[in-house]
C-alpha cells in the first residue's frame, strides 16, 4: 500500500519535470520562445487540443480509444461552415446543430462499442474513414468561404489579453475535473477501466456509461472544430487530419493509462501543454515537418511504453 501512495506524486512530478525541461531547453536555444506573445500563441494553439483531450480522457479511462476525433473535427468544421453560408443560418442555431451532429457521431460510436460489442479501435477507425469521406462529399472537396464576421470572435477574440479559446479550454478542464472527481458518473468511468466486472455487479449500467463517454468525446471535439472554423474563418475539409494522434499523445503524456482506470485531468492539462510546447519549439527551431512527425511518434511510443512497464510492475 505504501508503494501505491508514492507512485501518484512521483508520476505527477515526472510530468512537471518534463514540462520544465522543455521550457528551459527552448528558452536557451531560441530567442523568441519565452515571450508573452509566444506563450499566448502556444496557449491558443493547444486550446482545441485540450478541449478534445478532456473527452478522450473519459474514453481512455474506460480502457477505450477514440481515433475518430480528427474526422469529427473535420466534419463539424464543414457542417458549421455550410449551415452559416450555403443555408444562411444564424450563428447560434448553426453552432447548436453542429454540436448535435458531433454528439450524434459519438453516440453511434458508443452504441457500436458498448451495445453491439465491436472493439473501440475498429469502430472509431471505421468512423474516422467514413466521416472523412462525408466531409469531402459535403463540400465537393473545396473550402467553404463567406462566414459571418461576428463568428470570428469565438476563435480570434480576446478577453483582456487572454484569447477566448484559452478561456473556453480552462472552463472545460474545470468542468471535466468536477465531473470525474465529484460525481457518481465520474467514479463509474474510473471503475469501468479499473474493474469492469465489479462495477457491473454493483448494479451500474456499464453500457450506458461506456456509450456516454463517446458522446462526450464527440461533443467536445465538435466544440474544438467550431473554434478551429472560427480561427481560420473558412471551412477546410482537411482540417483535423492526424489530430487524433496529438490528442492521444497529450492524454497519455498526462499520465492517463491506456489500460484504463488511472489518470487525472490535471495531468492531462500538463500533457496538453507539453505537446504544444514541443510542437511550437520545433517550429521555432525550423525542424522539418517530416522530422516533427518522427519525434511525435517516438514521444507517443515512449509514453505508452512507460505506462505499460508501470502497469506490469504494479501487477
Q: How far lies 237's CA from each of 2, 77, 98, in Å?
A: 52, 8, 15
Domain of residue 113, residue span: 45-241
Above 80 in pLDDT, residue 166? yes
Is the separation of the CB atoms in 69 and 130 below 8 Å?
A: no
Q: What is the mean pLDDT of the chain?
A: 92
- Is the pLDDT confidence value at 49 over 60? yes
pLDDT digits (tens, 9 = 90+) for 63-102: 999 999 999 999 999 999 999 999 999 999 999 999 999 9
Give me the helices (H) in the chain, please: 2-29, 36-61, 69-84, 91-110, 120-139, 152-156, 164-182, 184-201, 206-232, 243-253, 265-284, 289-314
In a domain, 189, yes or no: yes
Residue 131 lies in a domain: yes
Query: Considering the domain boundaries, does residue 256 fall inside one?
Result: no
| Residue 120 within a domain | yes
Paired sense of beta strands 162-163 and 158-159, if any: antiparallel
pLDDT confidence of residue 43 = 95
pLDDT more than 90, % of the chain = 80
pLDDT higher than 90, residue 103: yes
What does the pLDDT read at residue 10?
58
End-to-end alpha carbon distance in the chain: 13
- Reading the block at residue 245, the C-alpha cell is 494522434
Specify the number of domains making up the chain: 1
Would you state the pLDDT for residue 314? 64
pLDDT of residue 58: 97
Q: Please give the average per-residue pLDDT across 256-265, as a whole number.
A: 90
Does 13 or 100 have the greater pLDDT score? Answer: 100
- pLDDT tens digit sequence for 217-249: 999 999 999 999 999 999 999 999 999 999 999
Asked if the structure places residue 198 within a domain, the reply is yes
| Alpha carbons 121 and 214: distance in angstroms, whole number | 12
3-state SS class at 145: coil
pLDDT given at position 4: 37
Mean pLDDT, residues 99-117 taken together: 97
Structural domain contains residue 255: no
Q: Which residue has the cell 467514413?
A: 130
Amino acid at each position: 500500500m505504501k508503494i501505491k501512495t508514492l507512485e501518484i506524486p512521483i508520476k505527477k512530478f515526472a510530468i512537471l519535470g518534463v514540462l520544465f525541461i522543455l521550457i528551459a531547453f527552448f528558452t536557451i536555444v531560441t530567442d523568441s520562445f519565452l515571450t508573452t506573445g509566444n506563450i499566448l500563441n502556444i496557449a491558443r494553439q493547444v486550446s482545441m487540443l485540450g478541449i478534445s483531450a478532456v473527452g478522450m480522457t473519459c474514453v481512455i479511462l474506460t480502457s477505450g480509444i477514440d481515433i475518430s476525433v480528427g474526422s469529427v473535427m473535420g466534419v463539424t468544421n464543414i457542417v458549421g461552415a455550410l449551415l452559416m453560408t450555403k443555408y444562411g443560418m444564424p450563428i447560434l442555431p448553426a453552432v447548436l446543430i453542429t454540436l448535435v451532429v458531433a454528439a450524434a457521431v459519438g453516440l453511434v460510436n458508443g452504441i457500436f462499442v458498448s451495445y453491439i460489442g465491436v472493439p473501440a479501435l475498429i469502430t472509431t477507425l471505421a468512423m474516422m474513414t467514413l466521416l472523412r469521406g462525408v466531409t469531402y462529399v459535403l463540400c465537393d472537396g473545396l473550402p467553404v468561404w463567406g462566414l459571418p464576421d461576428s463568428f470570428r470572435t469565438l476563435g480570434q477574440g480576446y478577453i483582456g489579453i487572454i484569447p477566448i479559446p484559452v478561456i473556453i479550454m480552462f472552463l472545460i478542464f474545470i468542468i471535466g475535473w468536477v465531473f470525474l472527481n465529484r460525481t457518481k458518473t465520474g467514479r463509474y468511468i474510473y471503475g469501468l477501466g479499473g474493474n469492469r466486472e465489479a462495477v457491473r455487479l454493483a448494479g451500474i449500467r456499464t453500457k450506458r456509461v461506456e456509450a456516454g463517454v463517446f458522446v462526450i468525446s464527440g461533443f467536445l471535439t465538435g466544440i474544438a472544430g467550431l473554434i478551429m472554423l472560427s480561427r481560420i474563418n473558412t471551412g477546410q475539409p482537411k482540417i483535423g487530419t492526424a489530430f487524433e494522434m496529438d490528442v492521444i499523445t497529450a492524454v497519455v503524456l498526462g499520465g492517463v493509462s491506456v489500460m484504463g482506470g488511472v489518470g487525472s485531468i490535471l495531468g492531462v492539462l500538463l500533457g496538453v501543454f507539453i505537446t504544444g510546447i514541443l510542437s511550437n519549439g520545433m517550429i521555432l527551431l525550423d525542424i522539418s515537418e517530416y522530422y516533427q512527425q518522427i519525434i511525435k511518434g517516438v514521444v507517443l511510443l515512449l509514453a505508452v511504453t512507460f505506462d505499460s512497464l508501470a502497469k506490469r510492475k504494479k501487477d
